[in-house]
Structure formats: C-alpha cells, structure tokens
Structure 1
Amino acid sequence: MQRTLIGPLATVILMVMTGCGNHDDSGSQPGQGQLPNVKIAQALSQQVTEWDEYTGRIEAVNSVDVRARVSGYLEKVNFKAGDKISKGDLLFQIDSEPFTAQLNFAKAELERAKSKHELAKNDLARAERLFRAKAISEEEHDARSKGLRETLAAVQSAQANVYTARLNMDFTQVRSPIDGRIGRELITAGNLVSGGGADATLLTFIVSTDPVYVYVDADERSVLKYRRQAQEGDRGSLGDERTPVELAVADELSFPHQGHLDYISPREDAATGTLTLRGVFANPDELLSPGFFARMRVRGSAPYPAILLPDRAIGTDQAQRFVWVVNQQNQVEYRKVALGAHIGQSRVIKEGLKPEEWAVIEGIQKLKPGIKVNPERISLSAHDDELKP
C-alpha cells in the first residue's frame, strides 16, 4: 500500500517542479524594452581653427612711477584719485619761491659774466692795437687774450647755471609724462618731499589703459609652429602678417577680446624651456586693468574641415581611444579613433569615424561589442554642449 502511494506523489512533485522551471525560462528572454537605451548622433562636420591656450597677466603698455625731481614743500595736489589724465597735465605743485630766488641769482651772475666778457673783449682789442705799435709786450697781449677766453667760459658757466635753475623751477610743477589713468596721491599737501636720486619721494603712479599687453610663456614647439606659419604665410582668410590671439578674463567663459601677437622673445629661458609671447589688445572701455589674470589663446592653425564629437562620446581603453558605432541592425561596434585638437568641449576625430556613421553620445558605460541597443537619434548643434532631438 505504501509502495503504491509513493509513485503518484513523486510524479506530482516532479510535474510541479518542471512547471516552475518552464515559467522561469520563458520570463528570462529579453524583450525590446529591456535593451540598453542610448543616444546616438552623427559627428558634426564644420570648419575649425585650432587654438593654443595659455595663462598670464595683463600689463600696461606704459607705466610710470611719478616722483619728485626737486626737494621742497608740497603745496597742491591737482587731481582726484583714479582720474583719466593726458600727457602734460599738472599733477602736483611744489613750493617754487626758493627756486625763483635761485633762478634770479643765476640770471644776475650771467649778466655779471657777460659784462666781464665785454670788458675783456675791449681790453683785447686795445691790446692788439698797442701790440702792433709795439707799445706793450707779447706777454701782456697773451694775458689779455687768455683773459677773454676765461670770461667767455664764465659766461657759458653762468648760462648753464641759469638753465639748471630754470629746470629746477619747472620741476616744481610735476606734470604727467603719459596719457593714462592715475592712482591715488601717496603724499598730501603740506609735506616735505625729496627730489632726485634713488630716495626721491614717490608721489603717485600712472598706467596707460588702451591698448594693453598680455604676457604668457609658451613651449618651444608651439613657438616654432607659430614662426613656421608666419614664414609660410598661413593666415587663412585674415590676410595679414600678424598671428591672431584672443583673450578672456576671470568672469568670461568665451574669448571675446581680439588682438594679435606683437612680440616673441628672441631667447628661450633654459630653466623652463619656454619663450615669452606678448599679445596686444584694444581696451577702449577700460574693462581690462593691468594686473588682471587672463587666459590668452593663440591661433595654432588655419581653418580646415573636420568632424567633431563631444568628449563624453569618447572612451579610453588603456592608451587607446575609441567610440561606439551603431550599425543598421542596432548593434554596437567598437571603433578605434585617432584624436585631434580640442575645440571647445569637443574633439576633432582625425581617423576611425565617417561623418555618416552614428556614434553613441550618451550611455557608453553600458555597452559591449555586438550587443543590440535601443537608440534615440539626436543631432549635435554647433555648440558642442547642446543636443537637439
């Protein structure tokens, strides 16, 4: 009896287990909705220009520390801090009375020297007549001749003293040597200032504002590239002989300021292996101030046609770069690529991808060669950080 019951019971258990196994197998088959979702796009084809970016500082074309050239009491300050000034504008007035007295004394000494010179000239003329008449000796004639030359030297010395006194008189008026914008006064009226020499009192400073310079350091390979472009006349559509440069300051993401290189150092710094480049930029609105941090980029090539993909579409396999390409069967293909320059947030694809092929832009982390995907086609805009479905 027991042997009879065990057979049917085992049969039922086996059927239940078999049914459960069949249910699991049917549920494990992937459906269309379970394929990896990716966004694909064709590479952007456009003319591009390569730019090399550097960091540096803005500097004034002209910068002057205004110092006193004569000593005296400061009488007046004739500007407001930060004023825009022109060359020749009166900035400071130093007490001129002592220098007026010195000038008057020098003028009087000049007149005395001139009088002595006239007298010596008359004496020599009489001496020559007497010498021809043999009324005086040769020694007397020579003495009067030398006396004339001595008085002439005295006149010239007195004239130099007058010139010096007049210069000192002029130096009591401290004028701007350049056009630009002036800093604050570093000493106020009523103070004694020292003039001349290394200890001359610093009164203020002036910097020119338009144009401005930007200095950066570039490696020798880059400098050689710029020089070869200049030699080959590789200027694209710009049609000039100057290498274009662009500038951005701290609050700017793009490079809105246009300029050109006007100087490359003739000697490399052996310690750093770099040469100094200087860009010059117009600054009519005075947005750019000397001392500002700046990013300057130098044009590194003429415009050329290229295909571009965003950086996020490019994978790295050890030293190899690759992209995922989706074929007509929606299967993923592993494609090695050779990269070119960075253009914004995109890279130039030099080899390995055709413009008409569809590359995976988003979702590359999920992919393996040969698997099927559920692609969403999008288009890349001219701005590589924008995607248009």
Structure 2
Amino acid sequence: MTRHPLVHLAHAATFALTLAVLAACGSQAQEHGNIAPAQVSIAPVVSRDIATSDEFTGRIAAVETVELRPRVGGYIERVNYEEGQEVKKGQVLFTLDARTYQAEFDRAQAELSRARSRAALAASELARAQKMADVRAISTEEFEQRRAATSQAASDVSAAEAGVAVARLNLEFTQVRAPIDGLAGRALVTTGNLASPDATVLTTLVSLNPVHVYFEGDEQTYLRHNQQARDDGRGASRDARNPVRVGLSSEQGYPHVGVLDFMDNQVDPGTGTIRARAVLDNSDRLFTPGLFARVQLIGSEPESALLIDDKAVLTDQDRKYVYVLGADKTAVRKDVTLGRMVDGLRVVESGLAAGDQVVVSGVQKIFFPGMPLDAKPQAPGLAAAVASSP
C-alpha cells in the first residue's frame, strides 16, 4: 500500500521536533552545572505537640448590659459623667429636679411628727383611764374606747413612717446612679429635658470585665467534641470548663485564652447549630462588646505534628509541594499532604520529616529541582516562637 507524500512529510516533521526537544534538554542539563546558585532562606520543620481543634466565628458581648431609666419623673438638672468613660457602681450619672420630692419628704416628716404626738396623747389618756378603771371611776365602754384610740394612733404612726420612707426613696431616686461598674454610653437625655419614670432611657451601661464570647457550632462538630471528650476521659463541654482560644480580627492566631462556661440546652432545628459561650478576662480592656472574634475550641489531647511556614508551599495543578535543601546544597522537591493552620503555621501530614530544611523565601528563584542553592537560615520569627511556646 502506497502512502501519500503528505504523510511522509508529517512523520519527518514529528521526528525532527523530537530530536530538537531532546537536544534542548541535553543542553539544559549541561548548563545546570554552570548556573548561579539561587539565594534563598530556609527554616527547619517545626515539631510540636498540638491538639485537634475547631474554629468558629463569634462576637464579644458584655456580661451585664443596662438601659438606665429613672425611677421617678422630672426634668434633668445635670448630667454628671463624661460620655464614653468608665463609671463605678453607685456613681451619680444624672440629677433630676428634686424640689417637688424634697417638699413631699418634708410633708411626710411633718405628718409623722403629728402622728407620733397623737399616739403619745392617746397613750397618756389610756394610762389615766386604766387608773380610773381600777377604781371603777369610768365605765368599761369608755376604757375600751381609749384603748382603741391608742391602737389607732400607733397604726397612724406606722403609716406615717411608711410615707416618710417612700418620700425618702423618691427623693433619692432623683439622683440616678450607675447600678454596675462599666462603660457608659452617650447621654440620650440632656439637661432641661423631661424624663418619664421607668420609660425614658437616659443612657446605656455595659460591664467590661470579664466579657463573654458567643459562637455557634454545627451539629456534627457538637457530636464529635462530645465523643472526643468521652474518649479522652474529659467532661463534656456542657459539664466542664474546657479551654478555648480567641483572636480578634487584627491579630494573628489565637493569643487569648478563656474557658467555655455555657452550652445551650438544644440544637436549633432551623439552622442545625447550637450556641455556646466562653468567658474571657478583660483586665487590660482589650475587648469591647460587639467586636468580631475568632474562636478555637480544643477538641482532643495534644499529639505530635510537623509544621512549616505556609509561604513555603507551592502548587502544581492539584498537588502541593515544597523545596528542601538537599545534602549537596541543591533544591529537592517534596510533595506534601497538608493539614490545618496552627498559630500561623501549616500542619504537614506527610511528605516531610523532622530536621528537613524548607525553603521559605526565594522559592520563585528556583526554576527546576536540583538547582544549586545559596541557603541562609531565616531570621528567628514565627516558627521559632511556636517551637518554643508551651
């Protein structure tokens, strides 16, 4: 069978292209020995015990939040605090016009004095009536009337004392005090405005130390954590104050440590999540209610793991790999299987060994495996801090 001339030309072109590629590869291999070493920084693989954990998003919330309202009505006479500043429990924040309540208090005291005078007179008359009754100088009916008058006078004194107590409270309530230690908001009602009792919100107060962090976890995570707690012999999160770590949006990792102190009593059937709460110390006033927070909940006992700087990881289609410094000071490619992030470093599940020197910076200068390297140790930084942390 005779082939068409075009077929012969196609085969000849393919053969020539193959020879050209092989020649280029051979030329590149010859040039590797003369190429200048790539200047890179290396860092050792960090070996550290870490615990499995899950990450959530949450919000900082005050333990106590108060909408401050007056217990009596009146016009605001003074605002006695600086808006946005911390206040102490019992500090006077607002003063209402107290003249009406002062007059009512004075009237109640006068009524109490009058009632006590009447009670003293009734007691004196009862004593005289008792002496007269002993010698039968007055009738039994008149004696009983004197006794009843004395009892009535004593009741009038008690009523007047209660009236004085109410008037005193109303007078005291004209000074609106902070019910908690905390941070005061802006004054919503200022001098000269009318405040209605138990209705007008004067300002808001939030406590600052400690603070809560609320977050929600899905049903599978909730079940897994309970199983891990049983396997490790720890109490479940509902029963034990398990540790949590928290980081703000401006921070790396989870530098703040708290404890879980509340787990809701049911999973929300609409979202499939359950709400949890952690408590954090806020002595340094770093946390403000309403801030976004990242929460890490520890799930199991610590296990040994290898960690590297995430900047060292390269991608080749669906594979992840890193370059390490070989024994002959050349770049050795190693494919790796990666895990989660821990304190800014990436967990390596397979592909590396403790002691490997991983290229962290300058990887863009490595054009092929086997390229000579001029490697210098990376300045102590995050990896060293993580390796030395407890």
State the TM-score, normalizing by the size of structure 1: 0.70
Residue 203 of structure 1 and its aligned partner are, at CA, apart by 1.3
- Within-5 A mapping of 1:210-359: 210-223=209-222, 225=225, 229=229, 242-308=241-307, 341-343=340-342, 344=344, 346-347=346-347, 349=349, 355=353
Residue 163 of structure 1 and its aligned partner are, at CA, apart by 0.5
Residue 139 of structure 1 and its aligned partner are, at CA, apart by 3.5
Q: Is the 8 A contact 2:92 2:178 kept in 1?
A: yes
**Match in the other structure for 2:76:** 74
Residue 152 of structure 1 and its aligned partner are, at CA, apart by 1.6
Task: Find runs of 4+ consecutive structure 1 residues off by over 6 angstroms.
Answer: 17-22, 313-317, 321-326, 330-335, 377-382
1:273-314, Cα deviation, whole Å (9 max, x unpaired): 333222222233433211112212222223210245769568
1:190-243, Cα deviation, whole Å (9 max, x unpaired): 222222x3x2x22112222232211111234544526963995659xxxxx742
2-side partners of 1:128 and 1:166: how far apart? 38
Residue 185 of structure 1 and its aligned partner are, at CA, apart by 1.4
Residue 66 of structure 1 and its aligned partner are, at CA, apart by 1.6
3-state SS, counterpart of residue 31 of structure 1: helix
3-state SS, counterpart of residue 80 of structure 1: coil
1:244-288, Cα deviation, whole Å (9 max, x unpaired): 222222322322223222222344334333332222222334332
Q: Which moved more, 1:41-50 or 1:249-258?
A: 41-50
**Match in the other structure for 1:160:** 162
1:75-104, Cα deviation, whole Å (9 max, x unpaired): 111222122222222222211111111111
Distance 1:283 1:136, change over 3 A: same
1:31 aligns with 2:29: no
1:150 aligns with 2:152: yes
2-side partners of 1:234 and 1:50: how far apart? 14
3-state SS, counterpart of residue 162 of structure 2: helix
2-side partners of 1:316 and 1:125: how far apart? 110
- Within-5 A mapping of 1:50-61: 50-61=52-63
Distance 1:135 1:361, change over 3 A: same
**Match in the other structure for 2:124:** 122
Unmatched runs of 5 consecutive residues or more in structure 2: 1-9, 33-39, 361-367, 384-390
Q: Percent identity?
A: 36
**Match in the other structure for 2:36:** none
1:99 aligns with 2:101: yes
Query: Amino acid of the residue matched to residue 107 of structure 2?
Result: F
3-state SS, counterpart of residue 202 of structure 1: coil
Count of aligned pairs: 340
1-side partners of 2:110 and 2:64: how far apart? 41
Q: Is the 8 A contact 1:63 1:207 kept in 2?
A: yes
1:140 aligns with 2:142: yes
Distance 1:267 1:23, change over 3 A: closer
Residue 18 of structure 1 and its aligned partner are, at CA, apart by 11
Q: Which moved more, 1:147-156 or 1:157-166?
A: 147-156
Distance 1:136 1:345, change over 3 A: same
Q: Is the 8 A contact 1:44 1:355 kept in 2?
A: no
Residue 166 of structure 1 and its aligned partner are, at CA, apart by 0.6
**Match in the other structure for 1:179:** 181
2-side partners of 1:119 and 1:313: how far apart? 102
1-side partners of 2:334 and 2:252: how far apart? 36
2-side partners of 1:228 and 1:20: how far apart? 65
Q: Which moved more, 1:88-97 or 1:144-153?
A: 144-153
2-side partners of 1:19 and 1:72: how far apart? 105
Q: CA RMSD in A?
A: 4.5
State the TM-score, normalizing by the size of structure 2: 0.70
Query: Amino acid of the residue matched to residue 355 of structure 1?
Result: A
2-side partners of 1:296 and 1:179: how far apart? 27
2-side partners of 1:122 and 1:227: how far apart? 81
**Match in the other structure for 1:374:** 369
3-state SS, counterpart of residue 202 of structure 2: strand
Larger radius of gyration: 1
2-side partners of 1:28 and 1:316: how far apart? 23
Distance 1:95 1:31, change over 3 A: same
Q: Is the 8 A contact 1:58 1:290 kept in 2?
A: yes
2-side partners of 1:23 and 1:315: how far apart? 30
Unmatched runs of 5 consecutive residues or more in structure 1: 1-16, 236-240, 363-372, 385-389
2-side partners of 1:314 and 1:19: how far apart? 37
1-side partners of 2:217 and 2:11: how far apart? 75
**Match in the other structure for 2:203:** 204
